[in-house]
Each structure stands twice: as C-alpha cells, then as structure tokens.
Amino acid sequence: MNSIDPVIWFFLFGLFAGAMKSELRLPSQIYDFVSMLLLLTIGLKGGIELANQPFSTLLPQMVVIVGMGFLLPLFAFPVLKHIGKFNRADSASIAAHYGSVSVGTFAVAVAYMNTRGIEFEEHMALFVVLLEIPAILVGIILARGMSKETQWATVGHEVLLGKGVMFLLGGLFIGWLSGPSGVESISPLFFDLFKGILALFLLEMGLITATQLGSLKRYGVFLVIFGIITPLVFAVLGTATGLALGLSIGGTAILATLFASASYIAVPAAMRISVPEANPTLSLTASLGITFPFNILFGIPLYHWFASNGQSFLVLQNIGQ
C-alpha cells in the first residue's frame, strides 16, 4: 500500500469527496494560487536546466520534441472525426488537448521517479513547455483550415499570453536568467513546498474530475475508449522518441507520460476563445475525467515499464548485431 504516492491519495480523496457531494471545496482563488505555483516551479526547473547545459546540446532534442508536438494532434484528429463521428470543431479541439501536455500529470511522474530514486534528465521540464503550444496551433488550423480570415495575431496572443503558457514561460526565463544558484533563495517556496502544493492541486483536480464524471455516460463509450487507448499509443511513441533521443529510462518514461497526457489548463482556455464552436465539456470529460486519472493511477507505472523494456530491447539488439 505504501507504494502509492500520498499525492495520489489526495487526488482519490478529492474524487471521493466530489462523488459523495460533500461540502468540501477549495476557493477558486486558492486553486489559482496552487496552479500558479505549480506552473512557475515547472517553468523554473526547465529554465535552470537551460542555464546548466550548453544550448547547442539541447537544441536537437528540442526540435524533435516540438516536431512531435505538431504531429501528435494530427494522429488523433482522423480517429475522432471518422471513427468517433465528432464534428470538425470537436475533433480538432480534442486532438489539440491530447497533442498537448498535462502539467499535473508531469508533476506526478516526477514524484514517481523521485520516490523510487529513478534518475531522469532534469530538462524534461523544458519539454513540458515545448509541448504545450504546438498542438494548440494545429488544433486551430484543423478546426478552421488555413483560411485567411483567421486572425493569427489574435490567435498567437491568445495562445502565448494565456495564463498557463505565460506562467510556464515566465518561470522558464526567470530560471534561465537566474541560474541554479540565483534561484536558491526562492527555492523554499517553489521547490521545497512543491510536493505539498501538488497534493493540494490534485485534491482540487479530484473534486473537479468528480464533476466531469457525470457527463461521461452522456458522451458514451467511444470517449472512454479513446481516453484510454490514445495515451497508450502516444506513450509508445513517446517511449520510442525517448530512446531514439538517447534519454535515460527515467527520462524516457517521463517523455512517454508527457505524450500520453492531455491538457486541461492551457488548451481548454485557448480552444474556448479560438474554436468556440467546439463543446468544451466533451474534451474536458475525456482529458480530465478519463485520461488524467488513468495516467496517474495506472499509466505512469506502465510507461516506466515501457521505457525499461524498450531499453532492454535496444540493448539486446545492439548485442545481437
């Protein structure tokens, strides 16, 4: 029993409290505070790594990651449109959610590795930032086509200046500019409290997830299947990418988790403004009601297993040659 991280229990506690319709509630301002700290911390971690390593070393990896950020929603879209029979806007919006990443899921994966003493490349936090945005742009194009009417300046504004992306980028630049020693003085708030803040965040996500569960039956079985199969497939892609980039087992598992995760902060906000005709309940039900709990409860250990076995496979192959 001890093998489940306490932050996961916080999520389950929130889920239970929400499902039982308890009076337990976090004020939205506290949710804002907690998610701000989470986003800033992850941005800071990514930025510190940028400061630690020569930019040229990271650049090739960064290019590949951004490229995958553009590709992933393109894989999801036809499935949603042709098999799921969703309309164009809904398909595009859900595809954008799954192409992008979930900061909460990332944080849980990091906690998982830390608890087990599994090493991973610290610059994974940088990948979170990189994977956040491309899927949003692809989603908008998928919904509207490359029409000239699209006000790309406005879209760019919405995407880059949205709360989630701003906090991540702001943390990234501050971490980069200050470097590891500069950030030390603010580490008690941003780093020491991180797991506790994550626990509160997951408690709130549990409460919110519980309200999403109600919409589940309305949207039927396809959404449930999609919300479980997609992370599995994307995690395989992520494992392959991680191994191809030469990441460690821990790093590969985290990258697989990122691919498998679906956004519920930055992308919903951007879609609501840029693809308003998409039904937000649909994508949130899938990403928050199904994929998020699936990933943090079952996915992460599984993706860790993917990464370990993927690497053993590579090693064996190399020996065989």
Partner 1 sequence: MNNNNTKLLTIVTEAALESRLINDIEQLGALGYTITNARGKGSRGLRSGSWEASANIRIEVICGPDLAKQIANHLQKKYYDNYAMVTFTSDVEVLRPNKFSD
What's the closest the beta carbon of residue 132 comes to partner 1, in angstroms?
16
Q: Cα–Cα–Cα angle for 234, 9, 171, nearest 5°? A: 60
Structure tokens at 13: 């506690």
Task: Tell me the one-letter amino acid at 246.
Answer: G
Q: Which is nearer to Na ion, 93 or 261 (CB)?
A: 261
Nearest-angstrom CA–CA distance, 192 and 170: 20
What's the closest the beta carbon of residue 39 comes to Na ion, in angstroms?
17
Given Na ion, a second copy, partner 1, none, residue 280, with its beta carbon under 5 to 8 Å by kind, binds: partner 1
Name the one range near partner 1 by CB under 8 A: 39-47, 136-144, 224-232, 261-269. 261-269
What's the closest the beta carbon of residue 201 comes to a second copy, in angstroms?
11
Provide the Cα torsion 121, 126, 129, 134; round to 10°: -80
* Residue 27 lies near a second copy (rule: CB under 8 A): yes
Nearest-angstrom CA–CA distance, 257 and 107: 10
* Residue 276 lies near partner 1 (rule: CB under 8 A): yes
Distance of CA 20 to the CA centre of its chain: 28
Q: Which of 53, 66, 71, 173 binds a second copy (CB under 8 A)?
A: 173
Query: Within positions 10 to 39, which residues make up the interface with partner 1, using CB under 8 A?
Result: 21, 23, 25-26, 28, 31-32
- The region that residue 40 occupies, defined by phi over 0 for left and psi between -120 and 50 for alpha, beta otherwise, is alpha
Residue with tokens 């040229």: 56
Q: Which is nearer to Na ion, 190 or 264 (CB)?
A: 264
Given a second copy, partner 1, Na ion, none, residue 211, with its beta carbon under 5 to 8 Å by kind, binds: partner 1
* Residue 273 lies near partner 1 (rule: CB under 8 A): yes
Other CB atoms within 10 A of residue 13 CB: 17
Nearest-angstrom CA–CA distance, 100 and 264: 9
On whether the CB atoms of residues 167 and 70 are closer than 8 A, the answer is no
Binding mask 152-181 for partner 1 (x = CB under 8 A): -----------x------------------
Name the one range near partner 1 by CB under 8 A: 102-110, 139-147, 237-245, 269-277. 269-277
Query: Within positions 238 to 277, which residues make up the interface with a second copy, using CB under 8 A?
Result: 269
What's the closest the beta carbon of residue 194 comes to a second copy, in angstroms?
8
Give residues with Cβ within 8 angstroms of 36, minimum separation 6.
167
Q: What is the CA radius of gyration of the chain?
A: 19
Q: Which of 74, 196, 219, 245 binds a second copy (CB under 8 A)?
A: 196
Given a second copy, partner 1, Na ion, none, residue 13, with its beta carbon under 5 to 8 Å by kind, binds: a second copy
Nearest-angstrom CA–CA distance, 239 and 268: 26
- φ, ψ dihedrals at 13, nearest 5°: -60, -45
Q: How many CA atoms lie within 13 A of 90 on its CB side?
A: 18
Judged by CB under 8 A, the number of residues near partner 1 is: 23
Q: Cα–Cα–Cα angle for 145, 262, 21, nearest 5°? A: 120
Q: Which of 74, 88, 144, 179 binds a second copy (CB under 8 A)?
A: 179
Residue ranges that bind partner 1, judged by CB under 8 A: 21, 23, 25-26, 28, 31-32, 163, 204, 207-208, 211, 215, 264, 268-269, 272-273, 276-277, 280-281, 284
Residue ranges that bind a second copy, judged by CB under 8 A: 1-2, 4-7, 9-10, 13, 17, 20-30, 32-33, 36, 111, 114-115, 157, 161-163, 166-167, 170, 173-174, 177-179, 181-183, 185-190, 192-193, 195-197, 199-200, 203, 269
